[in-house]
Amino acid sequence: MSSPYSARFFKGIDPGTIVTLDRPSPSWWKIIEKLNEHDHQVNVEENEESGFVSFASAKALCCDPKRRSKKAFMRIYKQVPHRKTEMWDIDSRGRQATTYPPRELTACIDLTQNGSSNTPKLFEYKIGTHDRSGLVLGGFIIWLVWEIVPRLRLGDGYGADTVWALESDEMEQIRVAFVKALPFLVGEFYEWKPKRPFRS
């Protein structure tokens, strides 16, 4: 969920900022442009009852500072204080510290390690924690950088309007490509036989 306050969580990733990542090997990435920011803050009760974690995320366009033509996307996840606890002292906020494995990172690592040719390649990532200058002492901060691939976005967060606006033969090409790639993505034991095309 976007919020007018989300910008407060991402100071210091302005254009020109160099970010150092360390997995699978050390690398440096230069921020070209911040593309979006979102916060996913929950209150203390939501955390205690459902285990929801408060975090913010940002996406940026970046490049290898030594080879500026090598561009990529970067996403940053950072733990933030629960709603209405932002003014608590540093040690009280630090008691909220937790780990958080973003599904996006887990999927990118798995797909890249297994040689997927149907998904963007994960270049580098880093998993760290906030120090005393951070919002949540000991809380997670995660960076990942992945390749930019040519694509047509088939929908957005609110629906799949783009795909339904395509001609039926284009939709069929997408369906065939999806069916072909699906077994690779979910494993060799998956069997699915579609009975009819996407939509006629």
Question: For 17-30, how does the pLDDT look when each residue is reduced to its tens digit (9 = 90+)?
Answer: 999 999 999 999 99
pLDDT at 116 (0 to 100): 85
Give the residue from 135, 143, 115, 173 showing the smallest Cα distance to 23: 143
Q: How confident is the model at residue 193 (pLDDT cuts 50, 70, 90)?
A: very low
Q: What's the pLDDT tens digit per position in 107-159?
A: 999 989 988 887 899 999 999 999 999 999 999 999 999 999 876 666 655 55
Distance between CA atoms of residues 77 and 38, nearest Å = 10
Tokens of 145: 């950088």
CA angle 172, 176, 178 (to 5 degrees): 115
Q: Is the pLDDT of residue 181 over 90?
A: no
The overall average pLDDT reported for the chain is 84
The ranges assigned to domains in the chain are 6-147, 153-200
pTM, rounded to two decimals: 0.75
Q: How far apart are CA 117 and CA 74, in angstroms?
A: 20
Side chain identity, residue 97: A
Which fold does the domain 6-147 belong to in CATH? Answer: Phosphorylase Kinase; domain 1 (3.30.200)
